[in-house]
Amino acid sequence: MPLDASFVGRVYPPTDAYEVGREKIREFADAIGDPNPAYRDREAAKSIGHPDVIAPPTFAIVVTIRASRQVIADPELGLDYSRVVHGEQRFVHARPIRAGDSLTTVVSVEDIRSAAGNDIITTKSDVSTVDGEPVVTAYATLVVRGAGS
């Protein structure tokens, strides 16, 4: 059954705050094999103009993957996650995520369409500090493989 296109434009409630810790940033940087000192050393980050260690450009996925579960697990939408593959991903940063940030995310359904027997859904995750400062917007396109593929 195709995804219900009337979900386009739906906005989910803001998530609980995600507290960005220095050790989480270090763990993520280690996991992507990136030794950049800006992810580990506060003084190194300060020397290039940041108030604390910053996170790698794709770190926001750690925050938005949690937020997007609201959409993926929405029983009304009925998305079969076992058939989902990641089609596209894009991040637009107002500034880098950094240690000490307290982030909340508002997820919305940007687009739903069908192509070649697959359903394609694009979500938009607006990540801001709990004080309302925009930090990053993430666009994720998920492809729900049809029964024939």
Partner 1 sequence: MISYADVEVGTALPAQTFPIERGDLVRYAGASGDFNPIHWNERFATSVGLPNVIAHGMYTMAVVARVVTDWAGDPGAVVEYGVRFTRPIVVPDVDGAVLEVAGVVSAKRDDGLIDVDLRATVGGQTVLAKARAVVRLPAGWPA
DSSP secondary structure, 63-82, as one string: HHHHHHHHHHT-TTT---GG
Q: Where does the chain show beta strands of DSSP type E?
A: 18-19, 84-93, 102-115, 118-129, 134-144
Report the nearest approach of partner 1 to the CB of residue 26 (Å). Answer: 10
* Cβ proximity to partner 1, 36 vs 108, nearer residue: 36
Cα torsion 48, 61, 6, 83: sign: positive
* Footprint (CB under 8 A) of partner 1, residues 46-105: 48-50, 54, 56-58, 61-62, 65-66, 82, 85-93, 95-96
Report the nearest approach of partner 1 to the CB of residue 136 (Å). Answer: 10
Residue 12 CA to residue 126 CA, distance in Å, equals 11
- 1 near partner 1, rule: CB under 8 A: no
Report the nearest approach of partner 1 to the CB of residue 6 (Å). Answer: 26
* Cβ proximity to partner 1, 33 vs 132, nearer residue: 33
* Cβ proximity to partner 1, 13 vs 95, nearer residue: 95
Looking at 36, 70, 108, 129, which residue binds partner 1 (CB under 8 A)?
Answer: 36
Residue 107 CA to residue 87 CA, distance in Å, equals 18
**C-beta of residue 37 within 8 angstroms of C-beta of residue 56:** no
